[in-house]
């Protein structure tokens, strides 16, 4: 069965410092991986995805993620954090069984401190 | 990017009444829509998957008679919480997949916060 793990409930980082939000996955076959961000009382916004191609994926708002097959990881990164990046971040993997179901991680709350 | 509109964003109702939440894809054909429920400080719980023109597929533990889902057109899905009770209070989010472009990602509505008194 497909699964996604986000080991950190919360990540704190100082403004201007690089940030990393961790995600590991377990799938059979090639993974379709996604990152979404959620601001309070809002829906989820798509940040980036990995389906195939370069392992380093660039997305919205300066975020990027690196697909690492050997470590089964897809960590979200940004070189310089902004206070406005503070939000809830979800990693997701798409079920490849044909149902198009997406399995979400438990979410990581990012807090960027001024 | 593709836009999904969800309405209402907030609703307060009395216990025992029914509430309908609409989810519309504004600029694409949503062949598949998903309904999620999110509890405070928790992840998204998939409630059901709906494909246009067919019955929704509910996840284990989700009462299909309680949470009625209709996906009558390629741009509209509705979730009706029937005979709502305070324990149904939650944040409900819909998402949609663009079946034609099939770019892979889901597009989410802004969510609906239901409060049952």
Of A42, A45, A99, the CB nearest to B49: A99
Contacts of B105 (CB under 8 A, 6+ apart): A34, A46, A49
Of A45, A101, A105, the CB nearest to B43: A105
Say if residues B46 and B34 touch (Cβ distance below 8 Å).
yes
Q: How high is the pLDDT of residue B17?
A: 97
The burial class, CB within 10 Å (0-12 / 13-18 / 19+), for A114 is exposed
Of B44, B49, B57, the CB nearest to A104: B44
DSSP A51: S
pLDDT tier, B12 (very low <50, low <70, confident <90, very high otherwise): very high
Q: Coil, strand, or helix at residue B65?
A: coil
A100/A93 Cα distance (integer angstroms): 10
- Give the tens place of pLDDT for each residue, B13-37: 999 999 999 999 998 888 889 999 9
Q: How high is the pLDDT of residue A29?
A: 81
DSSP A107: -
Mark residue A16 as left, alpha or beta (left: phi above 0; alpha: psi -120 to 50; beta: remaining).
left
Q: How high is the pLDDT of residue B1?
A: 66
> What does the DSSP assignment read for B66-110?
TEEEEEEETTEEEEEE-S--GGG-EEEEEEEEETTT--S--EE--
Q: Does B107 touch chain A (CB under 8 A)?
A: yes
Q: Give the pLDDT means over successive 10-residue stretches in chain A (114 positions).
A: 90 98 90 93 91 92 95 97 96 78 91 96
Q: Coil, strand, or helix at residue B49?
A: strand
Interface test with A, best of B43, B94, B99, B100 (most A CBs within 10 A): B43
Q: How high is the pLDDT of residue A25?
A: 94
User: Above 70 in pLDDT, residue B107?
Assistant: yes
- Give the tens place of pLDDT for each residue, B50-91: 988 888 999 999 999 999 999 888 899 999 999 999 999 999
Q: Coil, strand, or helix at residue B2?
A: coil
Q: Does B115 touch chain A (CB under 8 A)?
A: no
């Amino acid at each position: 069965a497909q699964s996604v793990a986000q080991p950190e409930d919360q990540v704190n980082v100082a403004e201007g410092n690089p940030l990393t939000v961790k995600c590991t996955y377990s799938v059979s076959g090639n993974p379709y991986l996604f990152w979404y961000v959620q601001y309070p009382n809002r829906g989820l916004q798509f940040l980036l995805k990995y389906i195939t191609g370069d392992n380093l994926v660039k997305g919205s708002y300066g975020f990027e993620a690196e697909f690492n097959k050997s470590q089964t990881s897809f960590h979200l990164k940004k070189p310089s954090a902004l206070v406005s990046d503070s939000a809830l971040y979800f990693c997701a993997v798409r079920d490849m069984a044909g149902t198009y179901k997406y399995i979400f991680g438990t979410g990581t709350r990012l807090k960027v401190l001024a | 990017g593709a836009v999904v509109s969800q309405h209402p964003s907030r609703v307060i109702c009395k216990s025992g009444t029914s509430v309908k939440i609409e989810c519309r894809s504004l600029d694409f054909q949503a062949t598949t829509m998903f309904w999620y429920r999110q509890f405070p400080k928790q992840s998204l719980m998939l409630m059901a998957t709906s494909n246009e023109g067919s019955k929704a597929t509910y996840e284990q533990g989700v009462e299909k008679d309680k949470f009625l889902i209709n996906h009558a057109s390629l741009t509209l899905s509705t979730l009706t919480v029937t005979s709502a009770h305070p324990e149904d209070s939650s944040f409900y989010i819909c998402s949609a997949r663009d079946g034609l472009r099939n770019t892979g990602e889901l597009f989410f509505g802004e969510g609906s916060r239901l409060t049952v008194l």
